[in-house]
Chains A and B, each alone.
Chain A
């Protein structure tokens, strides 16, 4: 089995599905031509259950719905921008409106496919997918949470969108920690006065900023927004009770993204706090130069985020 501290979240996730599929012939994994190291064995050993649906996301999603109607536990898998936007109407009509428990795995959220350009970036997937009725959206921020998520998807199948990063992500959770599953929002670093709510890859950026701002006397908490839909207002309320200000940080456009989801949940729960949303620049980036460079261009690198948070902490309420 995978060493979960060392594996890519994606490979660990698929390894877990593969292990489950070996003893459950009802598990089907449909790929729209996106491979993975972990899929190689799947293809060889479970040929019937691993379906190549063609580079045809619409076909993949309708097929998935048809299989799910027959009681199958179905996964659909492709790069995040393609398995969401390319077949969005299929997700709405065939999966969402028929209440089918299909798991949609989007690999490479945000700028994960670094340097590939806007076709491969998923900086609007949260806002689009949030609009669908009945969907659960989760973003594992490390391999432990990715594997636990994978287990959940086959033990309790539901209509879910799993947002996986393409990069290796350092451990955030201890091996047996399951707070993210139970609560959806987890305070992974405590702090004072201000907290940063983020998820996925950006958890690491937030941690870097936290170290950076400590010298300025700013000690913010970090909340991992593992589950962005639905958000439990009581849990959010409890987590924010001892903070005065809230920063949301995302590798996504601000329209309808993580920050949007959080402020909506705050409004619904009657949580009155000063909020600063930080997300990617409202444009498409074509320059190459690596993910850090992308973040600088988009305004979500650690230095820029640190300045924004410091400024926000000094603002009059």
Chain B
């Protein structure tokens, strides 16, 4: 695919630059919640580095002028409650007109509470867990049959591993040899009511994906070098299986009082809490 990048921020593989963008994205996501009193900041902040690395390092091939370019790579944010983390990126990269972010969840805005394919750059409706991986597998099959190089990346939550449909497709994708499918499991350890291991145990999670026939790796989801490293591996063409990345993360990363607290899943911060959060997020490196 030809050069199709139109970002305000230039593409970079510089780790420090990417870290700054992750800080920028986290702040933008928080401000969306602060403005609209809607959204899921903690779930968004746990996968921020993954999103930044995909969009800004050149690994994800996209076409903001023609979002449905058949040669594009696909990104499915299967944990749809965190779909909002893509919106600042989509606005920045020119998928939608500037100013849309300020209209998040407004009747005249493009960006909805949960993502759906009417939003340029969003592949599919998500919000009900356990769909993104199956949809992506369909895209991967189509890409293989059409001999296109495009890959599908899926960000799923660890809670999504409770859904049987996740494992139905995990089994299928390995059998079908979908080495153009990369799943990031956002392993923040929290679902709505409690920590996953206290609700219904998920571990040993990497072993489960491995047993289903996937190439697996565990990384620190907030370490930009580790995220970049895994993308390099995933795009190397040397792996002949679908890839599951267990991305160990912190839900609410960047806001101390939200970090690793399941209760903050969809709680809205008070004005005082907003002020504290802004100070903490501003202390991260500036973009």
B164 to chain A: which residues have CB within 8 Å?
58
Quick check: B172 and A56 within 8 Å, CB to CB?
yes
Contacts of A167 in B (CB 8 A): none
The docked-state distance in angstroms from the alpha carbon of A69 to that of B135 is 9
A58 touching B168, Cβ below 8 Å:
yes
The CA of A65 and the CA of B128, in the complex, are separated in Å by 15
Query: How far is it, in angstroms, between the C-alpha of A93 and the C-alpha of B135 when the chains are bound?
Result: 11
Q: Using Cβ atoms and an 8 Å threshold, which residues of chain B touch A67?
A: 138-139, 141-142
Minimum C-beta distance from B170 to chain A (A): 9
Nearest CB in chain A to that of B126: its residue: A93
Residue in A closest to B150 when the chains form the complex, CB atoms: A70
CB-nearest residue of chain B to A64: B138
Residues of B107-148 at the interface with A, using a CB-CB cut-off of 8 Å, are 116-117, 123-125, 128, 130-131, 133-143, 145-146
Contact between B165 and A58 (Cβ–Cβ < 8 Å)?
Answer: yes
Q: A residues within 8 A CB of B169?
A: 56, 59, 62-63
Q: Does A51 contact B (CB under 8 A)?
A: yes
Q: Known A69-B135, A93-B131; judge A63-B172 contact (CB<8 A).
A: yes
Residue from the list B134, B142, B172 in contact with A72, Cβ < 8 A: B142
Tell me the bound Cα distance from A217 to B277 in angstroms: 83
B51–chain A nearest beta-carbon distance, Å: 21
B70 at the interface (CB under 8 A from A): yes
* Interchain CA distance A65-B168 in the complex, whole Å: 15
Contacts of A72 on B, CB cut-off 8 Å?
A: 142
Contacts of A271 in B (CB 8 A): none
* Centre residue among A66, A69, A70 by max chain B CB count within 10 A: A66
Contact A66 B134 (CB under 8 A): yes
> Are A98 and B168 in contact (CB-based, < 8 A)?
no
Asked whether A62 lies within 8 Å of B138 as measured between CB atoms, the reply is yes
Contact A66:B138 (CB < 8 A) given known A90-B131, A98-B124: yes
Q: Provide the bound-state CA to CA distance between A51 and B168, in Å.
A: 14
A37 within 8 A of B: no
Task: Please state if A93 and B128 are interface contacts (CB–CB under 8 Å).
Answer: yes
Interface string of A93-109 (1 = CB under 8 A from B): 11001100000000000
Contacts of A64 in B (CB 8 A): 138
Classify chain B's interface size.
20 to 34
Tell whether B171 is near chain A: CB-to-CB under 8 Å. yes
Question: Would B124 and A59 count as touching, CB distance under 8 A?
Answer: no
- Contact, CB under 8 Å: B117 / A63: no
B131, A54: Cβ atoms closer than 8 Å: no
- Please give me the residue from chain A that is nearest to B143 by CB atom: A70
Q: What A residues does B141 contact at CB under 8 A?
A: 51, 63, 66-67
Contact across chains for B134 and A63 when beta carbons are under 8 A apart: yes
Q: Counting CB contacts under 8 A, is A41 at the interface?
A: no
A54–B135 Cα distance when bound, in Å, is 15
Does A184 make an interface contact (CB < 8 A)? no
Whether the pair A56, B168 counts as a contact (CB closer than 8 A) is: yes
User: How far apart are the CA atoms of A66 and B133 in the complex, in Å?
Assistant: 10
Task: Find chain A residues with CB under 8 A from B146 CB.
Answer: 70
A99 and chain B: residue at smallest CB distance: B117
Q: Which residues of B contact A242 (CB under 8 A)?
A: none
For the complex, is A221 an interface residue (Cβ under 8 Å from B)? no
A297 touches B (CB below 8 Å): no
Interface 1/0s, chain B 162-182, versus A by CB < 8 A?
001100110110010000000
Contact: A70 with B142, CB < 8 Å? yes
CA distance A93 to B146 in the complex (A): 26
Q: Could you pull out 21 A-B pairs where Cβ atoms are within 8 angstroms?
A: A48-B145, A51-B141, A54-B168, A54-B171, A54-B175, A56-B169, A59-B137, A59-B171, A62-B137, A63-B138, A66-B139, A67-B138, A69-B117, A69-B138, A69-B139, A70-B139, A93-B125, A94-B131, A97-B116, A97-B125, A98-B125
Known: A53-B172, A54-B175, A66-B124. 20 other contacts (CB 8 A): A54-B168, A54-B171, A58-B130, A59-B134, A59-B172, A64-B138, A65-B135, A65-B138, A66-B136, A66-B140, A67-B139, A67-B142, A69-B124, A69-B135, A69-B138, A72-B142, A93-B131, A94-B131, A98-B117, A98-B124
Task: List residues of A whose CB falls within 8 A of some B CB.
Answer: 25, 48, 51, 53-54, 56, 58-59, 61-70, 72, 89-90, 93-94, 97-98
The 6 closest A-B pairs by CB, nearest first: A66-B138, A62-B134, A56-B168, A59-B168, A70-B142, A58-B165
